[in-house]
Structure 1
Amino acid sequence: MSSPKHFNTQAGSPPYHNLYHSVTIVPPNSSLAYISTQWAADRATGELVAGCEGDAGKQAKIIWANISAILKELGAEMKDVVHRTVNFVEFNDEIGKAVAEGAVAGTADEWKGDIFSSALTYNGVSHFHKPGIVYAVDIVVAVPNK
């Protein structure tokens, strides 16, 4: 199966720090999986993982480790992520750097080169459903049909 094609157009806004792409085209013979909001949850308790309250970088590492596991379960890879929506309570370049570093640290080693390939949407939110959450991610993935 071919992978999604990620690229930037001449028209439109450039991606944030040129880390991401502005367009992704899904190849034929793929199904789209919409992964609901991922946050730094402890799967056993449903609570925020202890020690990461208010820390976007630590939360990113947990979130992207979980996303890597979800992708593997679906039979997909990081290069198959078509779009991501990232949600922040607060955002600046320092927080962005911490999240990027956390995302790389949490991503499966074999996929680190593709972590910033997909198209991206940023959202600012006033709060999340649990205290201490400052970062969360929604993704769309092109899953190879088998």
Structure 2
Amino acid sequence: MANLTHFNPKASSKPYMGLFSNCTIVPPNTALAYISTQWAADPSTGELVEGAAGDYTKQSKIVWTNLVETLKELGAQMKDVVHTTVSFSEFNDDIGKAVVEAWVSVMPDEWKQDMFKPSLTFNGVSIFHRPGVVYAVDLVVAVPSK
């Protein structure tokens, strides 16, 4: 595990809802993995999971279930996430709450304490590359040495 430093510089804006951090410092000589846009795809077909179109809660559960498995494949956990970018086709506090609750529901218990430490970017997008997709996530991860 890389010893990441998460913090909020005095001159930065306050994080949304007091969650997450505005800045993360990665120690020297740490390999980084950039996990590109993950959406509610079935990994075996590459298609949007049936019944998930337009549903933020379902899509969040699918995205984060897949990301948990991706992190495990890298030998990483949430404590190794440097930065998270989330994209929504629309956003309000109710959608944000639903997405976070779905995320928490699929996160391994031992990882939950680290979920809100990385820096976070919110994006609003007018359209995703597939009809029905309303939520997507990108991660930057400090890959632990093996």
State if a TM-score over 0.5 links the two structures. Answer: yes
Aligned to 1:30: 30
Q: Aligned equivalents of 2:106 and 2:62: distance in 1?
A: 6
Q: Aligned equivalents of 2:109 and 2:48: distance in 1?
A: 25
Cα contact 2:2–2:142 (8 A) shared by 1: no
Q: Aligned equivalents of 2:50 and 2:126: distance in 1?
A: 22
Instruction: Indicate the SS of the match to 1:141.
Output: strand
Provide the alpha-carbon RMSD of the alignment: 1.1
Aligned to 1:56: 56
Aligned to 2:6: 6
Gaps of 5+ in 2: none
Q: How does 1:113-132 map to 2 (within 5 A)?
A: 113-132=113-132
Consecutive aligned runs of 4 or more in structure 1 exceeding 6 Å deviation: none
- Letter paired with 1:124: G
Normalising by structure 1, we get a TM-score of: 0.95
Q: Aligned equivalents of 1:62 and 1:107: distance in 2?
A: 11
Normalising by structure 2, we get a TM-score of: 0.95
Aligned to 2:76: 76
- Letter paired with 1:80: D
Q: Aligned equivalents of 1:59 and 1:133: distance in 2?
A: 8
Cα contact 1:84–1:140 (8 A) shared by 2: yes
**Alpha-carbon deviation of 1:2?**
4.1
Identity of aligned residues (%): 64
Confirm or deny that 1:97 pairs with 2:101.
no
Q: Aligned equivalents of 2:115 and 2:19: distance in 1?
A: 9
- Letter paired with 1:120: L
Gaps of 5+ in 1: none
* Pair 129,107 (structure 1): closer, same or farther in 2 beyond 3 Å: same
Residue deviations 1:90-120 (CA, integer Å, cap 9, x gap): 0000000011011111222221111111000
Q: Aligned equivalents of 1:26 and 1:80: distance in 2?
A: 10
Q: Aligned equivalents of 1:91 and 1:77: distance in 2?
A: 27
Cα contact 1:29–1:144 (8 A) shared by 2: no
Instruction: Indicate the SS of the match to 1:41.
Output: coil
